[in-house]
Each structure stands twice: as structure tokens, then as C-alpha cells.
Amino acid sequence: MSVLKEFRDFAVKGNVIDLAVGVIIGGAFGKIVDSLVNDIVMPVISTLLGGHIDFTNLFVVLGNIPEGVPRTFDALKKAGVPIFAYGNFITISINFILLAFVIFQMVKVVNRIRLMDTPPPPVPEDVVLLREIRDSLKK
């Protein structure tokens, strides 16, 4: 019975609830970053590289292509043909770098806000006493 009590105490702690909220928000935030990469960043990079390159369709076929299967990423994946999908890796890597950068910026902002909200620590008693002595000596 004590294991259940320990688990209940652990589960209702603030840290666990905060973690659950963070995971849910992180999932939604990941979709936003996916959209940013796929809909905004990658088309710009593709245009800068001299054409409308679809990075997801950059791959090398490692096996035999069955007859009648189109040579597209989705069709080859469905057919189970082994492919080296380096374009998809590029897209996911850019996605990760952007996500890490945005999270880094968010943490910086949150830390600044926390520093502004925290009151200065109380002055130690010995420092207060020394200040009183100093002020008495000045008089």
C-alpha cells in the first residue's frame, strides 16, 4: 500500500504536472515549427539554391524498384523499397536547429522575467550589524 501512496504523492507534485503541461505544449509547438520549416524556410532555401527543390524527394534508391511503382518518395516507402532519404534528413535537421534556437530564446526571456520578479535576497544579519556599527561610528 505504501508504494501506491508514494506514487500518488509523486504524481500530484507540481513538477510532474508542470512536465505534463510542457509535453503537451511541446507537441503543439513542434507542429508550429514543422510548419515554419516546411512552409516558410524550406521554400526560401530551395529558391535560393536555384530552383524549386523539394527536399523530401531527395533520395537514393538502395534496392530494386518493383515494376509499376512511381519513383517518388511516398510511393517507394509504401512499396517497402529501401531508400537513403538524405533530403528528409536535411529537412528534419533544419527543423531541429530552428526548434532548439526558438526554445533557447524562450528560456532566455523567461529567465529575464524571473530575475526581474525575484526580490533581492535579505541582507544577512551580520552585515546589518556591521552597517549599524559603521553608522554609529560616523556620528
Domain parsing of the chain, residue ranges: 2-53+85-138
* DSSP per-residue letters across 10-63: HHTSHHHHHHHHHHHHHHHHHHHHHHIIIIIIHHHHHHHTTS---GGG--EE-S
Instruction: Please tell me whether the overall predicted TM-score, pTM, comes out greater than 0.85 for this model.
Output: no
Span 63-121, pLDDT tens digits? 888 888 888 888 888 998 999 989 888 878 887 888 788 888 888 888 888 777 777 78
